[in-house]
Amino acid sequence: MLTTPTFSTVRSEISGLCIKDLVSEFGTPLYVYDQSVIDKRIDDLSAFDRIRYAQKANSNLAILDRMRRKGVVVDAVSAGEIRRAMAAGFSTDPTKHEIIYTADIFDHEALKLVLEHHLPVNCGSPDMIGQIGSQRPGAEITLRINPGFGHGHSQKTNTGGEQSKHGIWHEQVDQCLIDADHHGLMVSGLHMHIGSGTDLEHLSAVCESMEKTALKVGRTLRTISAGGGLPVPYKSDETYVDLDQYFALWDATRNRLGETFGHRLDLEIEPGRYLSAEAGFLIAEVRSVKKVGKNLFALVDAGFNDMARPVMYGAHHPISVCGAKGDVSSRESVDVIIGGPLCESGDIFTQREGGFVESRSLPMPFVGDFITIENAGAYGFVMASNYNSKTRAAEVLIENGKAKLIRQRETFDDLIRGEQIPEIG
Ligand code: LLP
């Protein structure tokens, strides 16, 4: 089992490249990804028959391209994600199943694309069965089941149980099979995803539910998907899931079903965070250091418009300091609150769920230093916005010791594209 990394509060380089050099070439705020970390994480999961990357975690075309070259396939939760997958070179050949549309609804654009490219569909709501069945009778579909329980790092990332809008409720499977029959659809796969950032105990409970549901569906099944949800440690007291144990549980489930059905089932996994989180770093420059009563604030030029996880979930990210002039290791440690530039008090990177501000013990930061928010490669840039009319950051990929721009920093023209002032009258 992988051991939790030690998170240092001092960092002057990423994958061998000096943070100051990266900043002088690309500016701040800057997302930097280390391809070697993504490659390692893909290799960790090689026991599974298919790794289906949940691209919502980080869908930059370059990242998708590199995933594809490593034999990873993708899911798509929207028309935009279908188009991204195609732009990154994933095949729409229906026999290859490289892109699966998996969502709880079809909006009109997504349904049109799915039909146009004959993409496989994972139905997360009973209504989707008739919507695809009436247009593509005889097709194969897979069903996403809500097993009646879920778990995530936050209530907002728990995708199972009665409070969740996701998936087909487990008690409605029989009716869905009747609906599928009615349209001549064949149910060839089952999928369960109970939440994001969960743990082995909850993930393992899914196997039992999968087995029960699979026996209802019967011999048409060819694939089962364990979903995503694998956690990564964001703090030194958090751990990885024991992947050998996790795989063994799913493998045993798949084998038992295979024996019952008389054919082998493929076992898929659908991680987002696990593949990209630890590869990503958000670098920002310190622009103000000030005392507010007893509290010390360091305000940087990235905000929750760049990285929303702390304000949305009270998520903790490791944070390190890089001195503008020399090493910071000998500086005294201070308790400091790290905030951004936005006109909103929730714009704080060091907060717990509920918006309570927390300080972090870091080497004393000064204006001009750099702060790196680590483990920022999943649900970082993809959740960025233009709030406060901030342009979105640039993204860079480090590969074989070289830093390559994979997304230009937005400009003011990007910001107002599409807006128009109508004539009066
Ligand atoms: N499959 C399905 C159907 C999903 O809904 C998700 C995540 C995944 C796979 C990938 O889950 P992962 O392996 O990354 O845990 N913005 C939140 C996470 C939301 C996850 C949404 N669905 C965060 O920043 O923690």
Q: Look at 61 and 152; give whichever has higher pLDDT.
A: 61
* 197 C-beta closer than 6 A to ligand 1: yes
Range from 198-207, 214-223, 309-318, 368-377 carrying the lowest mean pLDDT: 198-207
* 157 C-beta closer than 6 A to ligand 1: yes
User: Where in 150-292 does DSSP place strands (E)?
Assistant: 168-169, 186-191, 223-225, 266-269, 280-292
pLDDT confidence of residue 404: 98
pLDDT confidence of residue 358: 97
The pick from 41, 159, 269, 273 for probing ligand 1's pocket by mutation, whose C-beta has the most ligand atoms within 8 angstroms, reads 273
Both tokens of 285, joined, read 């420059």
Q: What domains can be seen in the chain, in order of their start residue?
A: 46-270 (3.20.20.10), 278-413 (2.40.37.10)
Alpha carbon distance 385, 304 (integer Å) = 8
Closest alpha carbon to 104 in 172, 54, 150, 167: 167
Q: What is the pLDDT of residues 239-276, one digit of tens each?
A: 999 999 999 999 999 999 999 999 999 999 999 999 99
Is 167 annotated to bind ligand? no
* 183 C-beta closer than 6 A to ligand 1: no
Residue 45 in 3-state DSSP? coil
Catalytic residues, which ones? 343
> What mean pLDDT is predicted for residues 18-40?
98
Is 11 annotated to bind ligand? no
User: If pLDDT is split at 50, 70 and 90, which confidence band does 158 have?
Assistant: confident
* 167 C-beta closer than 6 A to ligand 1: no
318 close to 7: Cβ distance less than 8 angstroms: yes
Range from 93-97, 199-203, 277-281, 372-376 carrying the lowest mean pLDDT: 199-203
pLDDT confidence of residue 370: 98
Alpha carbon distance 323, 356 (integer Å) = 28
Alpha carbon distance 425, 131 (integer Å) = 43
Is 313 annotated to bind ligand? yes
Please tell me the pTM assigned to this model. 0.97
